Amino acid sequence: MAPRIKTSERIVQNSLELFNQQGERSISTNHIAAHMEISPGNLYYHFPNKQAIIAVLFSEYEALVESFLRPPQGRAATVEDKRFYLKELLSAMWRYRFLHRDLEHLLDNDVELAARYRRFSQRCLIQGTAIYAGFVDAGILCMDEVQIESLTLNAWIILTSWVRFLCTTRENSNHLSEQAIKRGVYQVLVLEAGFVTEQAREAVNALFEEFYVPLAQALEEVQ
């Protein structure tokens, strides 16, 4: 018999579902309680406000990203590692898409969360730089230090702003699909295209085919 999920965990799970579907701004703690068919008082027993729920969700997102955003240890990087990073980034962006969609609003309304996010961003940029440097050392990409730094920054800007781009460009922003977000991951690959070495070209081209989503589909698809 599977163990019963704690009420606090159910609140977090249901909040994530509602935030992703309708946007964090549209959902109150009363909406969450009603969706779960529990009293607002029961919810407040576990979380004093919505910001506390968001803080837990951000901790989950932070831990997830930091679990995979690191260079391989004890071996050279491979194109398969690049595929792994892209798939994991896509999964994280999709699962916690509300964070990307409402990021500025969330940070403006929570000073502590804003400070945590700044530190998280800095760590991600450091790790991203190390990952790209590993691809250079492995002969997959050809870049100097300034190009590595610039590519890391541009990739971060695309990944963290892609969901907001979709929400401001698509007619129905409440119905994002994983395919639409996948196009954002593809855009990172495009940034790297001019730096791919000849020896890695064939394998990287296969990634281009795997992650490509037509822009019209990303902007118009509703699921």
20 and 69 together in one domain: no
Q: CA quadruple 7, 223, 167, 192: dihedral positive or negative?
A: positive
User: Going residue by residue through the chain (223 aa), what tens digit of pLDDT does each one get?
Assistant: 556 779 999 999 999 999 999 989 999 999 999 999 999 999 999 999 999 999 999 999 999 999 999 999 999 999 999 999 999 999 999 999 999 988 899 999 999 999 999 999 999 999 999 999 999 999 999 999 999 999 999 999 999 999 999 988 877 666 788 999 999 999 999 999 999 999 999 999 999 999 999 999 988 754 4
- The Cα–Cα gap between 9 and 15 comes to 10
Among 187, 16, 4, smallest CA distance to 95 is for 16
DSSP string over 182-220: HHHHHHHHHHHGGGB-GGGHHHHHHHHHHH---HHHHHH
Residue with token string 């549209």: 26
Q: In this structure, what DSSP letter does residue 72 have?
A: P
38 and 65 together in one domain: no
- Residue 7: CATH number of its domain: 1.10.10.60
- The Cα–Cα gap between 59 and 76 comes to 30
Total of domains in the chain: 2
98 and 196 together in one domain: yes
Residues spanned by the domain of 172: 51-219
28 and 56 together in one domain: no
26 and 94 together in one domain: no
169 and 194 together in one domain: yes
163 and 198 together in one domain: yes
